[in-house]
Structures are given as structure tokens and as C-alpha cells.
Amino acid sequence: MKAYVFPGQGAQFVGMGKDLYESNETARELFEKANEILGFRITDLMFDGTEDDLKQTKVTQPAVFLHSVILARTLGDDFRPDMTAGHSLGEFSALVAARALSFEEGLKLVSARAHAMQKACEAEPSTMAAVLALPDEKVEEICSAVEGVVAPANYNCPGQVVISGAVEAVDAACVRMKEAGAKRALRLKVGGAFHSPLMQPAQEELAEAIAEAKFNTPVCPVYQNVDGKPHTDPEEIKANLIKQLTAPVRWTQDVLAMVADGADEFIELGPGNVLQGLVKKINGNVAVSGRQ
């Protein structure tokens, strides 16, 4: 069974999607439609901008989303997923690919999400850090013991957890992680504390946009980040999307659940190849590939 997976923020690169735009008429039409919806030419920034241009959350998130979903659309009949999932932002791509959301609705929600998160990031100094080679339970225990806001944000694969929160709390947690035997506990170059309680204002803003959007029953199960389980009910999908901003991304659990449900081939659609590496670390027996 085929599982199509979609990357999140951080996978972007200058030139992303340019080959698609130049070689495929369907892709070109969708990219131009996106320029109209967003009110600026995001294609100029994706194809010929700078790394700094692409690092802006309001640009990064729509850019990664567009690359992923337009790529899926260009595959036509070859795109036949038995299940989909996405990492953080990638969950929106997975939902559009599974037809739970239209291209237009998906892009509007991603843009709303990006602006809301940007505002939340600017409200309070915050950050994220990668912790390597500690059991999940130990990471959770240390985060709970540290004063201030810090919590697990991404369960990427066994031995790789990202924590998120206020700068001082994250730094304090990193010191304790190393003392507990972590191979590494390093701050990431990100705009703020994604998937932590500090995203609460963004969650409230996004909830309004999600409430107004039209969701359909997807053509295949979508495995969502908040619980690592398959969902097809539009109301459940909406509720989980809202929770996702302040809850951890349970990517390890997503992949394990897909494998348990029969997935033996994982195909990453979108920029980069991060998810391919994570899937291999979670289960080395499945076939893994990607398309950009």
C-alpha cells in the first residue's frame, strides 16, 4: 500500500517548484492562481528570491504547501494514495492531496496559519531545540521539571525529539538534556516556539478560519499529527487541525500507524528529503522514495 507524505516548514530552498512551473501547464495555472489568492507573486520569491525571503513564515509555509500539492496534482492518475500524512504544515498538503480541502481553501488556511503564527512569534521571544539520543519519556520528564514554558514539539523518530518554548526555558532544558546523556541538545534557527502553548493566540485565530472553510470527506485516510491516527470524518479533521498548533507533531506515531495499517511504500512529495530519512529510521523495512 502506498503512503504519500508531505514535508513541513524547513524543507524550502531557492528555486523550489521552478521546474514544475516551466514544464507543466497544470502546474503553471495553479501557481498563477496562488499568486492571485495571496495578493503577491510568491512564485518570484520561490524561484528567484533569496534564502532570507523564503525564511519569512508568511512565505515559507505557502511555498512549501504549493510545491507539494501542485506536484501531487501533476502526477494525475499516477497519484493514487492509500493513505496520506504530513509533518506539521505538511498536514494541510496531505488534506488537499486527499481532497478533504480544495486547493483554494487549503492555500487560504495555510496563509492564515502563517500570519497567525508570525504574530505569535513576535509577541514573545521563543525558540525550538533538537534533542538527540534520549528516550521520549526522559525528554518529557525534563521539560515538565523546567521552570517556564517548554514542551516536546516534534516526535520525529526514535531518539530525535524537538522541544519548543520560551528562550530561557528551552536553554535550561537543553542543559539538563545533556546532563541526562543527550548526544546533542541544540537550538534551531526558527522564528518561534511552534507546537507549544505559546502558539495559543495563533490557534484561536486559525480556529476562526478553519470554522469558515469547507471540508469534505477525504478519498483516503489522513493520519493526523495530534494523535497519530487515521481520520476521514471532516469534523474530527477540523478539530485536530486546530489542536495541532499547540500540540506536538507525533510523526513517529503516524508512520508506525501507517505501517501497521499496511503501508509498505512511502513517497515524499515536495521540497527536500527529510521525511524519507525519518521514515527509514522509524521502519527500515519499507520502501522509501521522493519526488520534487
pLDDT (tens digit, 9 = 90+) per residue, 148-192?
999 999 999 999 999 999 999 999 999 999 999 999 999 988 878
- Are 178 and 127 contained in the same domain? yes
Look over the chain and give the mean of its residue pLDDT values, rounded to a whole number: 95
Domain that residue 162 falls in: 123-187
- Are 12 and 28 contained in the same domain? yes
What is the identity of the amino acid at 19? Answer: D
Whole-model pTM? 0.96
**Pairing between strand 126-132 and 287-291?**
unpaired
- Are 57 and 178 contained in the same domain? no
N-term to C-term CA, the chain:
21
Give the separation between CA 127 and CA 33, rounded to whole angstroms.
34
Residue 204 lies in a domain: yes
Distances (CA, A) of 30 to 21, 27, 42, 139, 199: 9, 5, 12, 42, 30
Which residues are tagged catalytic? 88, 195
Contact 165, 131 (CB under 8 A): no
- Are 109 and 6 contained in the same domain? yes
CATH of the domain at 6: 3.40.366.10
**Domain boundary, last residue among 187, 220, 238:** 187
**Domain boundary, last residue among 187, 210, 241:** 187
Distances (CA, A) of 241 to 34, 110, 133, 185: 22, 11, 29, 28
pLDDT (tens digit, 9 = 90+) per residue, 101-129?
999 999 999 999 999 998 998 888 899 99
- Are 114 and 127 contained in the same domain? no
**Domain boundary, last residue among 153, 168, 187:** 187
- Are 165 and 82 contained in the same domain? no
pLDDT value at 217 more than 90:
yes
**According to the model, what pLDDT value does residue 77 have?**
83
**According to the model, what pLDDT value does residue 152 have?**
98
- Are 57 and 153 contained in the same domain? no
